[in-house]
Amino acid sequence: LAKCNPIAYWTLEDTFDYIAKYEVPHHPLHAQGYPSIGDAKDTIPIPEDGSTKFVNFKFEGDKTPWLDYASERKGRFVGLANKDGSTKTECGIHVAGAEQTFDRDLWEEGAVKNIASTDEAAEIIGSGKEAIVAVYAPWCQFCQGMEDEFAKYAESAGVPVYKFRGDEERDFVQASLNTESFPTVNFIKADGSVVKYDSEARSADDFATFEKSFEKSTA
């Protein structure tokens, strides 16, 4: 399957030029001086005096502060910091607080076992025993969507099945559990190698087939 993004190489200026040319509906806060829309309490106009605006499909004021290279996120996350003290510049999977968009954890009951810490995860990887580990975020709709099927698979799995919440330990899961997005399911081999389940098919049978694919190599 080949995928093509027709605007992959557009600049932000290209985007506003297109909006202006074809009068494409855009966010009304552009007319109030906000080039990038974050949350209400941590987003400011750029410049802060609101002198640059995009109104009626044209710029008012100096558009340079909006259109300089890599300026798309200006005005967002003002005053916020990551856990390590660095300035917050990302959203989505990287937002501290995104976990508030769910009302419960996943796999709270049943055969899926919880991994409570990075130390415990590392211990499982280095234990010399096979396992399946699902790296997830409870607010992720795709994780929520596979909850029932993964629980069903775990009931009859031939190896221990674990869950590990990855949005709270991003550096660890990226480095040790092949995780760039949620969910990520891995097979932990006896030699400590971690093999990613590289498919979006997430039925109980699909997970079982993935597990069984390692039987010949470990026999």
Q: Do 26 and 19 contact (CB within 8 A), yes or no?
A: yes
User: Of 150, 152, 177, nearest to 165 (Cα)?
Assistant: 177
| Angle (deg, nearest 10), helices 204-212 and 141-156 | 60
Q: Do 158 and 216 contact (CB within 8 A), yes or no?
A: no
**Average of per-residue pLDDT values in the chain:** 87
pLDDT at 66: 92
Which percentage of the chain shows pLDDT scores above 90?
63
CA distances for 206 relative to 61, 89, 144, 176, 203, angstroms: 56, 37, 17, 23, 5
For the residues 31-54, what does the mean pLDDT come to? 88
pLDDT at 216: 58
More confident residue, 70 or 30: 30
Which pLDDT tens digit goes with each residue over 73-102?
788 777 666 556 666 555 544 444 444 456
Euclidean distance between CA atoms 216 and 43, whole angstroms: 55
